[in-house]
Chains A and B, each alone.
Chain A
């Protein structure tokens, strides 16, 4: 824990320098975020479709099938969007970041950088960490949007729920501040956690094939558990007492 705290401290110090070089951050946003778009969008679409099938099966028992849109939208925006996106991001992008930094360390690329008086924390670690924070809210929003579209395809086009009811109930019951902004806040917190874990594990990976394999596995496992734990804490803080 002491090592992680010291690492987080030096990362914080290096953020100022990294923020002054936006091109490096944009490059990492492309590798981590933009290249995760397809998996996030397709996953969102399928999750939305499944939610619609399951939701309709329950709602039609109580004669509220028109509420399908709002149920799916709230599930996605509040919970599944940020959480599943963070889990996908941990598997798709963060593990790659860990492996990349671990390999750079094993092949002395970070040492070479350090010898050229270029701080690897500012040049390599901080841009990847910031890219995770910047990418996550956008990816979560895309996941939720794709999910709503998936639910619309199943609910409206295939099952035959009224199109107007689907959208109007969603519009009336999804609150921008309570639902959408809290969902985005969650995704920023998840991005911070997943980003920090991935760069930390990569930076301290043992410089062997086994060490890098272990580090990438640890990134995915620790990130996933952290996201779920943080989700519980944030959900309790954000939505307790709203009803």
Chain B
């Protein structure tokens, strides 16, 4: 039985996960306290999104323990998992709005599916959520009519509709212009504080991470490379983090994909 402290919302112990024979996570130990915002950073394909999938119960680890709010997620039955997910919100990389529903109906979806609230009350709640993300006026638009930033904000309103205890963000800033990045970042921070949530953000956006996160966890080669305060990123001389923070093309993460010797290949040897 894995020990669990009341102050911890999420606790991963020695989690290992692989796709077929390709290891992704090799013994991850991570705890997230209630009310905390942590950012997960690392190179592409480093297992960041996999980590979110494990916390949400969408993936099962080959070994190790994943506790969310005291529940061992991999051992939950479907109905228990759905019970837990009613307390978890997730913002997907590109919003994942339902393309056949307009903005209002997208945000109303969790209320209609998960509650027995009268339609009049659902209307009020949806308008409140849309007002919080600044898109009450766009309630009748279809997802195809929204910009990337607007779609992400609607998806955020939908994800927090049921006031979850945990919010998972999968690269919420990807593909957005700086204004939209700033808006989403402020919304994440504001909602986290207002709703008393615990947030896990998978991101590559260093500036926004420094503004938002209480802690930064850097993944490399399936392990936690560093778990540190955001301001340390600027000062550390760790070569991997320097390469990541300064956007250097070569370093611990090589520019070239492993292959044969260049000269030998050119010469056809």
- Which positions in A face B, CB cutoff 8 Å? 103-104, 107-109, 111-119, 123
Cα separation A74 to B82 with both chains bound (whole Å): 52
CB-CB under 8 A for A111 and B85, given A116-B110, A116-B114, A117-B114: no
Known: A107-B99, A109-B98, A109-B99. A115 touches B58 (CB 8 A): yes
Residues of B within 8 A of A111 (CB): 58, 92, 96
Q: How long is the Cα–Cα vector from A116 to B83 in the complex, in angstroms?
A: 10
Question: Which of the residues A103, A104, A117, A123 comes within 8 Å of B85, measured between beta carbons?
Answer: A117
Q: How far is the CA of A104 from the CA of B90 in the complex (A)?
A: 17
Known: A111-B92, A114-B85, A115-B88. 17 other contacts (CB 8 A): A104-B99, A107-B94, A107-B96, A109-B98, A112-B92, A112-B98, A113-B98, A115-B56, A115-B89, A115-B90, A116-B110, A116-B113, A116-B114, A117-B85, A118-B113, A119-B78, A123-B113
Task: Say yes or no: A108-B86 contact (C-beta < 8 A), given A115-B58, A116-B113, A116-B114.
Answer: no
Asked whether B96 lies within 8 Å of A108 as measured between CB atoms, the reply is yes
Cβ of B56 to closest chain A Cβ, rounded Å: 6
Give the complex CA separation of A42 and B113 in angstroms.
40
A108: B residues at CB distance < 8 A: 92-94, 96
Specify the chain A residue showing the minimal Cβ separation from B81: A117
Q: Count residues of B near A (Cβ-Cβ below 8 Å).
A: 22
Closest B residue by C-beta to A10: B78
B residues in contact (CB < 8 Å) with A: 56, 58, 78, 82-83, 85-86, 88-90, 92-94, 96-99, 109-110, 113-114, 155
How close is B105's CB to chain A, nearest CB, in angstroms?
Answer: 13
- Complex: how many Å from CA A114 to CA B97? 13
Contacts of A123 in B (CB 8 A): 113
How long is the Cα–Cα vector from A179 to B76 in the complex, in angstroms? 52
**Cα A106 to Cα B257 with chains together (Å):** 27
Q: Which residues of A contact B99 (CB under 8 A)?
A: 103-104, 107, 109
Q: Is the CB of B82 within 8 A of A117?
A: yes
Most chain-A CB neighbours within 10 Å: which of B78, B89, B92? B92
Give min CB distance, B115 to chain A, whole Å.
Answer: 11
Q: How far apart sit A165 and B59, CA to CA, in the bound complex (Å)?
A: 68
Docked Cα-Cα span, A143 to B129, in Å, equals 49
Contact of A117 among B86, B94, B96, B97 (CB under 8 A): B86
Do A112 and B58 form a contact, CB below 8 Å, given A117-B83, A117-B85, A117-B114? no
Hey, which chain B residues are within 8 Å of A112, CB to CB?
90, 92, 96-98, 155
Which B residue sits closest to A110, measured CB to CB?
B96
- Provide a sorted-by-A list of 6 A–B residue pairs whose CB atoms are within 8 angstroms: A107-B96, A111-B58, A114-B58, A115-B58, A117-B83, A117-B113
